Structure formats: C-alpha cells, structure tokens
C-alpha cells in the first residue's frame, strides 16, 4: 500500500529535492527584529539577509509547531485514508514532536482508522535529512511502509552528528555553555565539539584551539565512526561558510572513499541556535 512521506523544515534538505520526491514538509517559524519568518527550505526565505542580520548581532528565536498546524498538515491525507509517515525533528531539541503526537490523538478520535506514524528521529538538520533521503530511496525501491518502519527502528540511532560553531554567544543563550565559558572561549579562540546524543540532545563533548583543528576533528571522528563507507552518503551542513564545509569534505575524501558527500546550507531554524559559521557533519555508524 502506498503512503505519504512527510517531514519538517529542520531536515535542511532543499525544497526542490523534497518536491521532486513527493515529500511534504511543515515549516518552523523564526522571530527576528519583530518579524515572523517562515523556514520554507529556501523557497522564499532570504537566507543571505538572515545570515547578515546574525553577523551584525541579530539574535533570532524559534517556535515549535503547534497542535493545530499539525492537524491541518495531516488531515487531507487522513481524509483520503492515505497512511502517513512523518519523520520529526528531535524531541530532545523541540516540543514539536509532542505537538505532532497530540495532533494524531485528536485526529484518531475523529478518524479511528487513521494511519499516522510519527517517528522521533532524535536528529537535527541533515541528520534528520539523511534519514528522510534513506526512506525516499527505500520507498523508490518498492519497500512497504511496514518494512520502512522496521528499518527506521533498527537504523535511526546509527546517525552520527559532529558539530562545531564559530560563535559561542548562541550556545550561551541556549544554555549549552555558561556566560563565563563563552567569554573565555571567545578570548582563547576555543571551538566546541558537539554531538547529538542518544536522547537527541546536543552535548558539548570537547573543545580544541582554533577553527582548523575543529574542522579536522569533525572529519576524523566522522571517518572513524563510519561503517560500510562505500554505501554511504555523508551530509555536511554549513552556516555561511561553504569554504570550511569544502575543507571538511576534502579531509574525509583524503582518508576514506564514500558513495557521495553532499553539502547543503544549515537551515535558518538550526542556525538561529548555532550562529554563523556552524559546520555539521552527518554519517552512519554504530548505534549512538
């Protein structure tokens, strides 16, 4: 039986790719300078302007998707009795997953036979996007919804995320590091090394001196953690620094041969919490 694949704009895949593969997405919203902005994966969002605002001190905030919007998102497919598979942004980073689950409960009161499967990816940005792209391929290959749900339960926790940021102010504001640590780190050119843990939360697991060492650490850890690299597509997300993303790509390719490495801008929702200059690398390996 056919099903509808859905996700949200935190997957950071280009909207053109999702449209070409018949994947609907729900947009996160961002508040900046008194304006509400819609993260629509580059369809209309002015990303260059947004990055410039952040560079000049702008501090955007984000909102989770509410229950009502999820009901509207799911309802057309429920009414057509089309099963839904929704890959959601990590519950460890947003309340949106819980909103989606509440929406499912409400819809099932009205449509008792509704089939809506909400998967907490425990991932963010192109880590979530990696899972979306894998499901697109499985669906193309003719796998059933049941097969894909089983695959996700066995494989979603094999997504590895290695992240560094260039500006510690945004991590401080989000409570990831203290004000004192941010101030000292900025003075000493310290760059944090961050992962997404098994609960889908950001964990600051180390630090290095200088941007170059941070990029090397991301590449080294990605290569070390990979399983069956020749079958893998590695994703690299970047906020305003394509050059650093390309350096990480080169470092990985110098050490190991992979199927493909795809580079995409880090979406504005995630960039709101990491700031300009964030680089994040996503691959698959052993379970987190």
Examine the fold and report which residue of 156, 187, 203 is the final residue of a domain before the chain moves on.
156
CATH number, residue 174: 3.30.1180.10
Residues 163 and 150 occupy one common structural domain: no
* Coil, strand or helix at 129: helix
For 153-202, the pLDDT digits (tens) are 999 999 999 999 987 776 676 665 666 655 655 656 888 899 999 999 98
Residues 14 and 122 occupy one common structural domain: yes
The total of structural domains in the chain comes to 2
Domain span at residue 72 reads: 4-28+64-156
Q: For residue 57, tell me if it sits in a domain.
A: no
Q: Are 84 and 4 in contact (CB under 8 A)?
A: yes
Let me know the angle formed at the C-alpha of 61 by 288 and 197, rounded to the nearest 5 degrees.
Answer: 5
Examine the fold and report which residue of 122, 138, 156 is the final residue of a domain before the chain moves on.
156
Examine the fold and report which residue of 156, 177, 198 is the final residue of a domain before the chain moves on.
156
Cα-Cα-Cα-Cα dihedral of 30, 36, 41, 42, to 10°? Answer: -130
Q: For residue 191, tell me if it sits in a domain.
A: yes
The residues with which 111 forms a beta bridge, in sequence order, are none
CATH number, residue 8: 3.40.50.10440
For 226-250, the pLDDT digits (tens) are 999 999 999 999 999 999 999 999 9
pTM, entire model: 0.94
How high is the mean pLDDT of the chain? 93
Q: Could you give the CA distance from residue 71 to residue 75 in angstroms, rounded to a whole number?
A: 6
């Amino acid at each position: 039986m056919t099903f509808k694949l859905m996700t949200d704009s935190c997957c950071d895949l280009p909207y053109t790719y999702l449209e070409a593969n018949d994947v609907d997405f729900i947009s996160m919203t961002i508040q900046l300078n008194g304006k509400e902005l819609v993260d629509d994966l580059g369809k209309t969002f002015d990303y260059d302007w947004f990055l410039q605002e952040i560079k000049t001190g702008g501090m955007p905030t984000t909102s989770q998707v509410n229950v009502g919007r999820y009901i509207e998102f799911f309802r057309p497919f429920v009414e057509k009795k089309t099963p839904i598979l929704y890959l959601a942004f990590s519950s460890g980073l947003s309340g949106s997953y819980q909103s989606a689950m509440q929406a499912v409960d409400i819809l099932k009161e009205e449509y008792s036979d509704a089939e809506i499967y909400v998967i907490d990816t425990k991932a963010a940005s192109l880590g979530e996007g990696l899972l979306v792209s894998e499901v697109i391929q499985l669906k193309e290959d003719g796998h059933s919804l049941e097969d894909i749900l089983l695959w996700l339960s066995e494989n979603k926790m094999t997504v590895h995320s290695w992240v560094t940021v260039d500006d510690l102010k945004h991590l401080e504001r989000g409570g990831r590091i203290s004000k004192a640590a941010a101030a000292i780190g900025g003075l000493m050119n310290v760059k944090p090394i961050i992962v997404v843990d098994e609960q889908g939360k950001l964990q600051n697991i180390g630090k290095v001196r200088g941007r170059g060492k941070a990029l090397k650490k991301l590449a080294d850890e990605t290569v070390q953690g990979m399983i069956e690299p020749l079958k893998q597509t590695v994703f690299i997300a970047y906020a305003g620094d394509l050059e650093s993303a390309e350096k990480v790509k080169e470092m990985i390719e110098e050490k190991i041969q992979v199927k493909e490495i795809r580079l995409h801008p880090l979406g504005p929702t995630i960039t709101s919490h990491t700031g300009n200059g964030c680089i994040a690398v996503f691959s698959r390996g052993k379970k987190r």
